[in-house]
Chains A and B, each alone.
Chain A
């Protein structure tokens, strides 16, 4: 290995890649199940019923949202791991790796703000009017949903770079990149959520919740899996580790490096 270049810290890289699963599993449990956002309360719910929802689930929402505010940051660290894999493909001068990392990092912002609003609504519910509870609930959704474009840039940047991968077996398979384009396409109708309280384009609607979110989720899960694998493959490409089969046969390959 070239001694002039600083050694790559594969351990840290792998750890960052594993924050992807931490994000998507943690979020599904804490945000989706515990805080009862899966499925979400309908946009058309009356102010009184929204207030009651927060009253009934005060503890669950408090715990779920405060954990999510912490866990959400894992989207940033996951994004950093993706960005480094991208850099291997597009080279040091590549810009898209930066766009991906910025996109992942800024995606955390609407998440933390929205969860913070829902958290405060839960802890303060006894002193809030129903109108305020409704305001908080909708405010969180508007922020988290309409920030989709920043995440779109992240996904587009990753898709373009991984499609340009010249390896015979790409680090991230082409279908994941194309699924990224599907995800971005499914995001655009989210711009309609301010206008509808019912129907497919409400924030709890068939399209803007049940298509847009699972599509993104599938992208996060598949991207996480292939990034974890990619770091391992890059380690082997660099000669810093041996392919599993070689390792079994003997250590002679190491000597040649």
Chain B
């Protein structure tokens, strides 16, 4: 298939392998169902949800969004650099993405710590159940992504990625962008929706 508009003749293609996209689509659907579940739960107990929401610190949520967006951006730059065969900076870009992922986890630990110190857990009420479980499941994805970024970093340092051999990098990038994308929705859902 060839893109007609704009006169571009680049064939349309999906980055990485199709399987990753099957995984990403399924994972995103699970999250979408949980978003709906959260909204329906909220419908039955607006006061509780709103009062609990106000105890969350939007600074954490906002800064975490900025962290993940930047991390994602570095990964895009890494993929683009590989495609130009400019391999020198690729490991640095991936390392930067990894460090930002780690920063997200530190920030999350601080945030969870504060809540737990205040005696709030996922058992406190339904809002906090969603808050802890949704962010927790998302955090597991961040852990998975960070492990992936270490693998990609090692491969990049070994100069294993080239213009014609970057499927693994593209797969990892696709997953990491999904983690970013889910947080873009999760953050307003839990912290800002009033």
Please give the residue numbers on chain A whose beta carbons come within 8 Å of chain B beta carbons, in ascending order: 163, 174-175, 177-179, 181-182, 185-186, 188-189, 192, 195-196, 199-201, 206-207, 211, 215
Contact A195–B123 (Cβ < 8 Å): yes
Least distance between A139 CB and chain B CB atoms (Å)? 21
Nearest-CB distance from A155 to chain B (Å)? 13
Given A207-B33, A207-B34, is A192 in contact with B133 using a C-beta cutoff of 8 Å? yes
**A179–B34 CA distance with the chains assembled, in angstroms:** 19
Interface centre among B17, B19, B26, B41 (most CB of A within 10 A): B19
Instruction: List 24 A-B residue pairs with CB atoms under 8 Å apart, sorted by A's residue number.
Output: A174-B17, A175-B18, A175-B22, A177-B19, A178-B22, A178-B23, A179-B22, A181-B23, A182-B22, A182-B26, A182-B27, A185-B23, A185-B27, A188-B140, A189-B137, A195-B122, A199-B41, A200-B33, A200-B34, A206-B33, A206-B37, A207-B30, A207-B33, A207-B34
Q: Are A199 and B34 interface neighbours, CB within 8 A?
A: no
Partner of B18, one of A174, A192, A199: A174
B20 at the interface (CB under 8 A from A): yes
List A contacts of B41 (CB < 8 A).
199
B33 touches A211 (CB 8 A): yes
B110 within 8 A of A: no
> Complex Cα distance A200/B133, Å?
10
* A178 x B140 contact (CB < 8 A): no
B126 in the interface (beta carbon within 8 A): yes
Residues from chain A with a CB closer than 8 A to the CB of B123 are 195
Contacts of A215 in B (CB 8 A): 26
Inter-chain CA distance A118–B23, complex, in Å, is 35
A-B pairs with beta carbons under 8 A, tally: 51
* A179/B26 contact (C-beta < 8 A), A174-B18, A195-B122, A195-B123 known: yes
Give per-residue flags for B8-39: 1 if the beta carbon is below 8 A from chain A beta carbons, else 0: 00000000011110110011001001100100
Q: Are B19's CB and A174's CB within 8 A?
A: yes
Interface status of B129 (Cβ within 8 A of chain A):
yes
A39 to chain B, nearest CB (A): 16
Give the contacts of B134-157 with A (CB-CB under 8 A): 137, 140
Among B26, B27, B140, the one with the most A-chain Cβ atoms within 10 Å of its Cβ is B26
List chain B residues, Cβ under 8 A from A207: 30, 33-34, 37
Residues in chain B within 8 A of chain A (CB atoms): 17-20, 22-23, 26-27, 30, 33-34, 37, 41, 122-123, 126, 129, 133, 137, 140
Query: How far apart are the CA atoms of A215 and B25 in the complex, in Å?
Result: 13
Known: A174-B17, A200-B37, A201-B133. A211 touches B30 (CB 8 A): yes
Nearest CB in chain B to that of A178: its residue: B19
Shortest CB-to-CB span from A160 to chain B, Å, is 12
**Residue in B20, B26, B129 whose beta carbon sits within 8 Å of that of A201 in the complex:** B129
Closest B residue by C-beta to A173: B19
Decide: B23 and A199 in contact? CB cutoff 8 A: no
Residues in A neighbouring B137, C-beta threshold 8 A = 188-189
Q: Is the CB of A189 within 8 A of B133?
A: yes
Minimal beta-carbon separation of B146 from chain A (angstroms): 16
Residues of A within 8 A of B20 (CB): 178
4 more A-B residue pairs beyond the given contacts A175-B19, A175-B22, with a C-beta to C-beta distance below 8 A: A174-B17, A199-B126, A206-B33, A206-B37
Measured CA separation A199–B130 after assembly (Å): 9
- In Å, the complex CA distance between A188 and B144 comes to 13
Minimum CB–CB distance for A97 against chain B, Å = 21
Closest B residue to A174 by beta carbon equals B19
Chain A minimum-CB-distance residue to B29: A211
- Which A residues are CB-close (under 8 A) to B18? 174-175
Flag if B23 contacts A182 (CB, 8 Å): yes
Q: Write out the residue numbers on chain B whose beta carbons fall within 8 Å of the beta carbon of A195.
A: 122-123
Q: Which residues of B contact A199 (CB under 8 A)?
A: 37, 41, 126, 129
**The 4 A-B residue pairs with the shortest CB-CB distance in the complex, in nearest-first order:** A178-B19, A182-B26, A174-B19, A178-B22
Taking CB atoms, residues of chain B closer than 8 Å to A185 are 23, 26-27, 30
Chain B residues positioned under 8 Å from A206 (CB to CB): 33-34, 37
